[in-house]
Amino acid sequence: MDETTENSALAALAAALAAGYERRDAGDLAGAERAFRLAVDAAPGEADAQGALGDTLMALGRFAEAAVALCAAESLEPARPHRLAALAEALLAAGEFGAAAEACRRRVAIRPDSVPALLAHAEALLALGDAAAAAGPLREAALLAPEDADIAAKLCQVLTDLGEPLEALELAQPAVRRNPGHPRLQVALGCGWRALGEREKAAAAFRRGLALDPDDAGAQAALHSLIHDGAAEAEPGAAYVRALFDRYAERFDADLLEKLGYRAPQLLREALGASPGGLDILDLGCGTGLAGVAFASLARHLAGVDLAPRMVEQARRRGLYQELYVEDLLVCLGRAAARWDLILAADVFTYLGDLGPVTRAVAAALRPGGRLVATVESAPGLDGFEIMPSRRVRHGAGHLRACAEAAGLTLGRLGPETLRTEKRQPVPGLVFILAKG
């Protein structure tokens, strides 16, 4: 291109851009689009022309076309945060969630301390259906803007949805104290309490949220569901159990041993009686390791599994376990067949309903001649199992016998014992042994 032609093209570009901005400022988006298309025709390699066209198409609601123009602008002049932001917005609106997330990721790489960039990345990941990945940028945004109640509410909801209600509550409670008039925070708080089975606290939070924003349909639905659909007690889920025990990990031993007179590990050891050492032992729901203390002298190899990471960390500090897992006990039992000589379950089945699945898993995990020694809470006359208002579960002798028979295990011992005291009242239970032939 000679100098005269180049100057002519530049003049045409400048005139078209000026006309486009003038039309856009006047509210004439159709006229602005025509002018910016002339600018693109005059200089197809000019990023500003492509970007201006893309912005105008966004304003016109033509998101897919806008994304094409903004992508062209970004490729011509890469790594401009404002262009990546506009491109991500267009891609999100066009339903191109994967491409939007990638544009946001590149924007965050350039500006890792930008709260808007982090929030946009999280929104793109949520639109993509990847809540676990979205929690990362949301956490970063919450650290950079700790006073922002909207960010705290969003992060709390995502954490609860991911099965981490305890972390959500640990964030929500101080945020609510700082922002008591923020309705979405109250609703997020309620969702966390609901996930932990704290129905009254959840209802109170939902009601506070509705008082602050009576038009919040989500809070209305949550409260209605809590009141009308949750009358029957539900078996405690993994998220509930994990959060329940993580809350008490630091003071668990003191509360159980000093306040409640907790005896389950000692009862299991007494029930087993004289036993040779050198056993491979798995401690189900190991908690802080109290059962490990009672059985360590018999172990050649001692492993523990628990849902609550903070409890497992306490167990690790005892230095008794060669292996510790943070996972569901059925997953751990299924890791290897016929591996264990002895499996312990001290006050663990209290958080399970039907014990059929776990006894079958125990049968597969035990070596021939291996044994399970366990406790359950019970009640006079109970034959099956029942979920109490506390969400703990009581099991009767009939249920234990049926599960043992179905799993091909022999019920070697079954006797009543007092497991601990609560409110100065003994908590009755059963200690039992299942043996594999």
User: How high is the pLDDT of residue 251?
Assistant: 77
Give the dihedral sign, CA 316/318/322/323: negative
Domains 146-231 and 241-435 alike in fold? no
Query: Helices 29-42 and 47-59 meet at what angle, rounded to 10?
Result: 160
Which pLDDT tens digit goes with each residue over 272-322?
998 889 999 999 999 999 999 999 999 999 999 999 999 999 999 999 999
pLDDT tens-digit readout, 85-105: 999 999 999 999 999 999 999
132-140: long-range contacts (C-beta < 8 A, 24 or more apart)?
132/162, 134/158, 135/159, 135/162, 137/108, 140/112
Task: Please tell me the predicted confidence (pLDDT) of residue 6.
Answer: 62
- CATH topology for 241-435? Rossmann fold (3.40.50)
The residue to which tokens 């897919």 are assigned: 64
Confidence grade of residue 412 (pLDDT, cut at 50, 70, 90): confident
pTM exceeding the 0.85 threshold for the entire prediction: no
pLDDT, position 233: 54
Task: Determine if residue 408 is left, alpha or beta; phi over 0 gives left, psi from -120 to 50 gives alpha, anything else beta.
Answer: left
Instruction: Give domain limits for the chain.
Output: 146-231, 241-435
What pLDDT score was predicted for residue 229?
62
pLDDT tens figures, 275-285: 889 999 999 99
Mean pLDDT of all residues in 33-41: 93
Reported as a pLDDT band with limits 50, 70 and 90, residue 24 is: very high
Virtual CA dihedral for 196, 198, 202, 205, nearest 10 degrees? -110
Residues whose CB is less than 8 angstroms from the CB of residue 117 and which lie 6 or more positions away in sequence, other chains included: 81, 85, 104, 107, 108, 111
Q: In this predicted model, what pLDDT tens digit does every residue of 240-284 receive, in sequence order?
A: 777 777 776 777 777 676 667 888 999 999 999 988 899 999 999
Q: How far apart are CA 139 and CA 46, in angstroms?
A: 38
For residue 231, pLDDT over 50 is answered with no
Superfamily of domain 146-231: Tetratricopeptide repeat domain (1.25.40.10)
What is the band of 33 on the pLDDT scale with cuts at 50, 70, 90? Answer: very high
pLDDT-derived band of residue 37, with 50, 70 and 90 as boundaries?
A: very high
Site of tokens 């009672």: 294
User: If you ran DSSP here, which 8-state letter would residue 94 be given?
Assistant: T
If one counts every other C-beta atom within 10 angstroms of the C-beta of residue 65, the result is: 18
**Model pLDDT for residues 394-409, shown as the tens digit of each residue:** 999 999 999 999 999 9
What's the CA gap between 308 and 163, in Å, rounded?
A: 12
Model pLDDT for residues 185-216, shown as the tens digit of each residue = 999 999 998 888 788 899 999 999 999 999 88
With tokens 């499996």, the residue in question is 343
pLDDT tens track for 95-145? 999 999 999 999 999 999 999 999 999 999 999 999 999 999 999 999 999
Looking at residue 5, its pLDDT comes to 60
Distance CA 50, CA 71 (A): 9
Residue where the block lists tokens 């890791």? 335
- Report how far Cα 141 is from the mean position of its chain's Cα atoms: 18
Tell me the sheet residues that pair with 377: 394, 429
Contact 107, 121 (CB under 8 A): yes
The whole-number pLDDT of residue 1 equals 47
Arithmetic mean of pLDDT over the chain: 90
More confident residue, 435 or 237: 435
| Chain CA centroid to CA 95, Å | 26
pLDDT at 429: 93
